[in-house]
């Protein structure tokens, strides 16, 4: 399979012990266009086998495009729902179609049928905007035995997720009221709706209800290209979802990732009782550079997600299987980093590494007073990059750094005092990531809710993989994925540093880092079983 543009993850699932990931794949080169469904399988979420294309535009109900969708298990059998684009006088006329495996005994589910007698299974009736009606999510079954699914759309400039019901997952009826909507949020793409346990890190099947269950509703905003989510309550009698008080229902709310991460989708891994998150990370390089290198886009490392103890947000962590790629380990002893310190982490393949560093939370009396106008974390990180000295911070990591620090991607914390409470800012500063001027060097940021009674340390874990710096702050309370293309700090010329550019001292409690080997990726020509 040629490497071209990869976008949305689609229909992730586990079937008979094998993980499946489908994704939007452009056959037009390293730019969006002529989308098909690519398909890969794995036994460990790390090493992958690519199969032949699973779905292409081929029938009247999808002849203009096979867009994103999800998988649902009906009596143990996977069914995919996806958005098909049909020929019409209206631009991008969208319907919802279904596909089923041709051979359930095939562990790789290589062949998929699109039943002509049923498709399309859902049409944009009742005044739905047919050009804004896409990305069906995983279905769930209510206490009445009826299946539900929800599909992203908009009414005017209000984002909306329409609800549909079915007794057989083939014949669908639109509900009078949507599952959820929010004012002035624009088109909702790739909705995801799933339960989380209130008092347990274990994941739940999508249909689980109960008093110890909350629900997460996530959408991808077409206007801003951000994913955001709320936590709330789902009433199965009225089929209404209501965000909790304080769960902000717009682009300034909670995100899975505050960097380059879009069109995300979760699935329930019943084998390990966890909910796993996939997301697409687009490029920071120019289109011309993408075309030159022959590819664009990637899937982020899959993450386990669960509800934090306080019930206000989700936490995330790379799936444990990623640790099998660790090789040589390097450790630094606990020490105080004085203001202006830059300490190299030696003996590491810094262009491909897993780094976990912990800093002691400074005393509240020793940190900078926060200006009440500092309400936007991304703007604050942009105005206070790693080069701007503060009282407590910036301190953290310099990843993919050149020897003389001309290039560096800084991931760091700043700590503030706001009305005698901690405010922790996490930043991923790309402003000096590359000497290539055409790259997108946006700086990203997030505020992290820190409870000094539980969070005695500020932990930072970064997965570094050449053009990817994926960072998890304070045990996964905030995640920022950056795409960077240094010109000097590449391969063996890349370095890793821990630093403190604050005026105050910071104690580094520990630092552990591993060089990482490559995951094993096999393409169609390498596979020994037949895909033909």
The three-state (H, E, C) secondary structure of 383-429, written as one string: HCCCCCCCCCCCEEEEEEECCCCCCCEEEEEEEEEECCEEEEEEEEE
DSSP structure class, residue 289 = H
The token duo for 6 is: 């990869």
> For residue 170, which of 96, 68, 87 has the smallest C-alpha distance?
96
Tell me how many degrees the CA angle 70-73-76 measures, rounded to the nearest 5.
155
Yes or no: say if 193 and 150 are a contact pair by the CB < 8 Å rule: yes
Q: In the structure, what pLDDT confidence band is assigned to residue 532 with cuts at 50, 70 and 90?
A: very low
C-alpha span between 54 and 65 (Å, rounded): 13
Q: Is the pLDDT of residue 506 over 90?
A: yes
pLDDT at site 2: 52
Lowest mean pLDDT among 109-123, 179-193, 278-292, 456-470: 278-292
C-alpha span between 502 and 213 (Å, rounded): 42
What are the tens digits of pLDDT across the range 381-430? 999 999 999 999 999 999 999 999 999 999 999 999 999 999 999 999 99
* Residue predicted with more confidence, 226 or 289: 226
List, in order of start, the domains of the chain with CATH numbers: 4-318 (2.115.10.20), 327-516 (2.60.120.560)
DSSP structure class, residue 21 = E
Active site (catalytic) residues: 8
What are the tens digits of pLDDT across the range 154-191? 999 999 999 999 999 999 999 999 999 999 999 999 99
**Around Cβ 198, how many Cβ atoms within 10 Å?**
13
pLDDT at site 29: 56
Q: Is the pLDDT of residue 482 over 70?
A: yes
DSSP structure class, residue 227 = E
The token duo for 18 is: 């094998």
Which helix (H) or strand (E) segment holds residue 287: the answer is helix 287-293
Cα within 13 Å of Cα(439), Cβ side:
22
Q: Are strands 314-318 and 303-307 parallel, antiparallel or unpaired?
A: antiparallel
Compute, in degrees rounded to 10, the torsion defined by CA atoms 313, 319, 325, 328. Answer: 50
- The beta strands (E) that lie in 246-351 are given as 262-269, 274-281, 298-299, 303-307, 314-318, 326-332, 335-337, 341-344
pLDDT at site 452: 76
């Amino acid at each position: 399979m040629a490497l071209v543009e990869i976008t949305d993850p689609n229909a992730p699932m586990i079937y008979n012990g094998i993980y499946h990931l489908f994704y939007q794949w452009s056959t037009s080169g390293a730019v969006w266009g002529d989308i098909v469904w690519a398909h890969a399988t794995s036994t460990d979420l790390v090493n992958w086998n690519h199969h032949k294309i699973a779905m292409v535009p081929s029938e009247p109900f999808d002849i203009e495009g096979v867009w994103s969708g999800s998988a649902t298990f009906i009596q143990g059998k996977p069914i995919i729902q996806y958005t098909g684009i049909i020929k019409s006088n209206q631009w991008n006329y969208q319907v919802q179609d279904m596909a089923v495996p041709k051979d359930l005994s095939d562990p790789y589910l290589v062949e998929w049928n699109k039943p002509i007698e049923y498709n399309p299974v859902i049409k944009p009736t009742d005044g739905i905007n047919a050009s804004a009606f896409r990305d069906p999510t995983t279905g769930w079954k209510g206490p009445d035995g009826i299946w539900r699914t929800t599909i992203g759309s908009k009414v005017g400039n209000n984002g909306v997720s329409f609800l549909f019901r079915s007794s057989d997952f083939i014949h669908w009826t639109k509900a009078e009221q949507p599952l959820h909507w929010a004012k002035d949020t624009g088109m909702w793409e790739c909705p995801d709706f799933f339960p989380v346990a209130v008092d347990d890190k274990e994941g739940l099947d999508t249909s689980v209800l109960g008093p110890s269950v909350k629900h997460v509703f996530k959408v991808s905003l077409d206007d801003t290209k951000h994913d955001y989510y709320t936590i709330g309550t789902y009433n199965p009698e009225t089929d209404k979802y209501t965000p909790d008080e304080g769960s902000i229902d717009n682009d300034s709310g909670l995100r899975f990732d505050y960097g380059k991460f879009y069109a995300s989708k979760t699935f329930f891994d019943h084998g390990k009782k966890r909910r796993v998150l996939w997301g697409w990370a687009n490029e920071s390089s120019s289109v011309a550079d993408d075309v030159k290198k022959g590819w664009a886009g990637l899937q982020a490392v899959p993450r386990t997600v669960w509800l934090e103890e306080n019930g206000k947000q989700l936490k995330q962590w790379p799936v444990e299987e990623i640790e099998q790629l660790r090789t040589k380990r390097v450790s630094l002893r606990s020490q105080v980093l004085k203001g202006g310190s830059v300490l190299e982490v030696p003996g590491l393949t810094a262009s491909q590494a897993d780094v976990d560093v912990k800093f002691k939370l400074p005393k509240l009396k020793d940190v900078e007073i926060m200006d009440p106008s500092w309400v936007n974390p991304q703007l604050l990180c942009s105005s206070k990059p790693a080069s701007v000295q503060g009282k407590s911070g910036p301190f953290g990591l310099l990843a993919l750094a050149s020897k003389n620090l001309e290039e560096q991607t800084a991931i760091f914390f700043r700590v503030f005092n706001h009305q005698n409470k901690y405010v922790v800012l996490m930043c991923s500063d790309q402003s000096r990531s590359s000497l290539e001027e055409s790259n997108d060097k946006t700086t990203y940021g997030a505020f992290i809710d820190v409870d000094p009674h539980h969070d005695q340390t500020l932990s930072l874990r970064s997965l570094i993989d050449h053009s990817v710096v994926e960072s998890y702050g304070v045990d996964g309370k905030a995640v920022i994925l950056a795409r960077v293309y240094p010109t000097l700090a590449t391969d063996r010329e890349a370095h890793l540093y821990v630093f403190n550019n604050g005026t105050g001292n910071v104690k580094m409690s520990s630092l552990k880092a591993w060089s990482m080997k490559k995951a094993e990726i096999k393409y169609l020509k390498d596979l020994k079983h037949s895909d033909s």
